[in-house]
Amino acid sequence: MLNCGYVGNMLFVNLSTGDIKVEPTEKYAKDYIGGRGVATRILYEYPDALIFMSGPLTSLVPSGSRMDVVAVSPVTGLIGGSSVGGEFPSVLKFAGYDGVVVMGKSEKPVYLIIDNGNASVENAEDLWGLNVFETIDTLTNRHPGSIVACVGRAGERGVKFAGIAFSYRNLASRGGLGAVMGSKNLKAVVVRGKGRVTPNDPLKLMAVFEEIHECVVRSGEYARFKDWHVNFMPTILKLRMPYFGDYEPYWEDAWEAAIKAREFMEKHTIGRASCFSCPLRCWAIVSYGGEALPMNLCQGTLPAIMYVLKVRDPELAWKIYRKCQSEGLDIMSAAAVIAYASRLGLVELGTEQILETIEKIISRESEGEILAEGVKRASEHFSVPAIYVKGGLESWSSDLRLFVGSALISAVADSGSVNRALYAFPEFYYYIKRDQAERVAKKLVNDAEAARPQTYTESKVRLAVLWENLHIIADSLGVCIIALLTAPLRLWAEVYEAATGMRIGEDGLMRVAERIRTLERLFNIRYGMVKDELPPRLFEGKPRLDKDKLEKMKKTYYSLRGWDENGVPKEETIIKLGLSNLVRS
């Protein structure tokens, strides 16, 4: 019986019929751990569902603050997933559920409240039309002590890059999941919980907790995050090669913008904060314009705005950030879409016009109607080629042409692109920490070449597969990938055992990751086969990717996954991974 680590129950809500039922987590958790794995498995059974799923380590370990949100992405038509932290995932467990599966569609706007085990669907007509901040404030006033996940106007109106906000700061942003929630007429999920999560062996858990904790606070990440709010803009410029405007490799004012942003952050940051259970403190509390707001110091927030939208003025960038965040927009995608619109002459980058364009997208006025559909559909409409990744998802904010590993994953990934597979991939820090990147690559795949951003080696594919597996493990355990990478996998296997009482081992975790990855592929083959392709613009001009060499890497990737040369999982792989019953049903 699975009553350790997990709370044991999952909530299934059908908004069409109003039915609410409870299923044991055990049914899915045994073979798929939790989080991303269980959510993928459930989506395979109920493809119209929107699934919020925590992991067995959520709230039990350092950085165990996360849950995975999975649904069919309206942008790509493929499985879409996003990992989210903050307090919501832990509080959901304290409220008595490991996960929530929302099926069907309500006729009228509603919200779901889960209060210490009791769940009910309430009328949300008065909330419809409110932005994220207003919704959170209204609902936390109505239900004191609760945590709110909601969509803003962007999600309500089906903007294809709307995310689901889990607080003023945390957003399950990528893949357009907010549009899924909006299409179900589900405005918010409110949780309040005073329960507990019971580990199998508390003493063992505390012992491993201490070991993991030591790894985290001794890591480069922990040291770097100390002044990260000041340094992140210049560092990302040097390290990650962001693209500028509509995928230009160079912007003469980039360094100036970075330095101005550094000054802005130094002046306006009044504090630092973390998600529940996380030592890493990756949020900055920024006080600006008479208001304090938390911000995630990530490439997809201020850097995406300043570099992609060529905003020199950090105060304008902050206004754009606030606008996107309060409306629940994925900033990475929104920036890509607006940069594309600038190519069409619809907006001038670096100016206040950006704010107007965002408003047009959210309200779907004039050209906003097209832009709200995402960059791929817009490019089809305007017949001007755009850059996107597999299925039409907007590119990650680094220039894919400069990072071959990320280009590979952007072509083959099944549940969102680089964000779901390659955090801290050695090639991403090669430009400032070459020795370390080469050492990691040498250790893991016995080839330092794999760390070099511009090589097309077989070893790099092996490294990418390994990295993707680690992300799947983190997303399934309910742990933040940043922390997971700081401690050896052995410790995570040990802490899983201490929490759940089930022995798994490193190999076991890897095997489950393989199973989940192949199931994601099987889902996409069954429901929305899209070719593993990148748009032609990435292979033209300068810099560019080498198409033939990338094709060869793709084939290597397929064979490492046990798939045939068209990327279809082989029969023997399906049997080996124990997926045959599921696939045949």
**Nearer residue to another protein within complex by CB, 44 or 276:** 276
**Nearer residue to another protein within complex by CB, 159 or 295:** 295
Residue from the set 285, 444, 504, 582 that interacts with another protein by CB under 8 A: 285
Which of 201-209, 234-242, 333-341, 398-406 is the region at the interface with another protein (rule: CB under 8 A)?
A: 201-209
Residue from the set 22, 122, 138, 213 that interacts with another protein by CB under 8 A: 213
Q: Which of residues 233-262 bind another protein (CB under 8 A)?
A: none
**Nearer residue to another protein within complex by CB, 197 or 335:** 197
Residue from the set 223, 266, 273, 365 that interacts with another protein by CB under 8 A: 273
Residue from the set 150, 205, 302, 349 that interacts with another protein by CB under 8 A: 205
- Please check whether residue 191 is in contact with residue 116, taking contact to mean a CB–CB distance below 8 angstroms: no
Q: State whether the Cα torsion 90-94-98-104 is positive or negative.
A: negative
**Nearer residue to another protein within complex by CB, 152 or 193:** 193
**Nearer residue to another protein within complex by CB, 87 or 514:** 87
**Nearer residue to another protein within complex by CB, 12 or 321:** 321
CB 117 to another protein: min, Å: 14
Torsion of CA 294, 297, 299, 305, to 10 degrees: 50
Q: Is 106 helix (H, G, I), strand (E, B) or coil?
A: coil
CB 294 to another protein: min, Å: 6
217 binds another protein per the rule CB under 8 A: yes
275 binds another protein per the rule CB under 8 A: yes
501 binds another protein per the rule CB under 8 A: no
Would you list the DSSP string of 117-179?
TEEEEEE-TTTTT--HHHHHHHHHHHSTT-EEEE--HHHHTT-TTB-EESSSS-EE-TTSHHH
In 408-564, beta strands by DSSP E: none
CA atoms within 13 A on the CB side of 536: 3
Residue from the set 77, 129, 158, 294 that interacts with another protein by CB under 8 A: 294
CB 137 to another protein: min, Å: 13
Residue from the set 2, 67, 216, 422 that interacts with another protein by CB under 8 A: 216
CB 7 to another protein: min, Å: 11
CB 9 to another protein: min, Å: 16
- Please check whether residue 60 is in contact with residue 44, taking contact to mean a CB–CB distance below 8 angstroms: no
Residues in the chain: 585
Buried/exposed code over 419-437 (b: 16+ C-beta within 10 A; e: otherwise): bbbbbbbbbbbbeebeeeb
User: What is the spatial distance between Cα 112 and Cα 164, in angstroms, rounded to a whole number?
Assistant: 14
Question: In Å, what is the CA distance from 470 to each residue of 54, 140, 262?
Answer: 17, 36, 32
Q: Which of residues 410-429 bind another protein (CB under 8 A)?
A: none
Q: State whether the Cα torsion 74-78-79-85 is positive or negative.
A: negative
User: What is the spatial distance between Cα 409 and Cα 422, in angstroms, rounded to a whole number?
Assistant: 8
59 binds another protein per the rule CB under 8 A: yes
202 binds another protein per the rule CB under 8 A: yes
CB 293 to another protein: min, Å: 8
- Please check whether residue 303 is in contact with residue 312, taking contact to mean a CB–CB distance below 8 angstroms: no
Here the tokens at position 256 are 């100036």
298 binds another protein per the rule CB under 8 A: no
CB 436 to another protein: min, Å: 23
Which of 96-104, 271-279, 463-471, 577-585 is the region at the interface with another protein (rule: CB under 8 A)?
A: 271-279
323 binds another protein per the rule CB under 8 A: no
Residue from the set 126, 137, 210, 540 that interacts with another protein by CB under 8 A: 210
* Angle at alpha carbon of residue 201, lines to 66 and 486, rounded to 5°: 45
Residue from the set 277, 296, 397, 398 that interacts with another protein by CB under 8 A: 277
218 binds another protein per the rule CB under 8 A: no
207 binds another protein per the rule CB under 8 A: no
**Nearer residue to another protein within complex by CB, 62 or 80:** 62
Residues paired with 9 in a beta bridge: 24
Residue from the set 37, 86, 176, 199 that interacts with another protein by CB under 8 A: 199
How distant is the alpha carbon of residue 149 from its chain centre? Answer: 15
Alpha helices per DSSP H over 344-425:
353-363, 368-371, 375-382, 404-412
Which of 279-287, 333-341, 358-366, 563-571 is the region at the interface with another protein (rule: CB under 8 A)?
A: 279-287
Residue from the set 18, 118, 206, 356 that interacts with another protein by CB under 8 A: 206
Which of 39-47, 210-218, 256-264, 510-518 is the region at the interface with another protein (rule: CB under 8 A)?
A: 210-218
Q: Which of residues 76-135 bind another protein (CB under 8 A)?
A: 94
**Residue 33 burial (10 A CB sphere; 0-12, 13-18, 19+):** buried
User: What is the spatial distance between Cα 467 and Cα 461, in angstroms, rounded to a whole number?
Assistant: 10
Here the tokens at position 16 are 């069409």
How many residues bind to another protein according to rule CB under 8 A? 34
196 binds another protein per the rule CB under 8 A: yes
Residue from the set 279, 385, 508, 562 that interacts with another protein by CB under 8 A: 279
Question: In Å, what is the CA distance from 496 to each residue of 5, 83, 228, 473?
Answer: 8, 19, 30, 11
- Please check whether residue 195 is in contact with residue 95, taking contact to mean a CB–CB distance below 8 angstroms: yes
Binding residues vs another protein (CB under 8 A): 59-60, 62, 94, 194-199, 202, 205-206, 209-210, 213, 216-217, 222, 270-279, 281, 285, 292-294
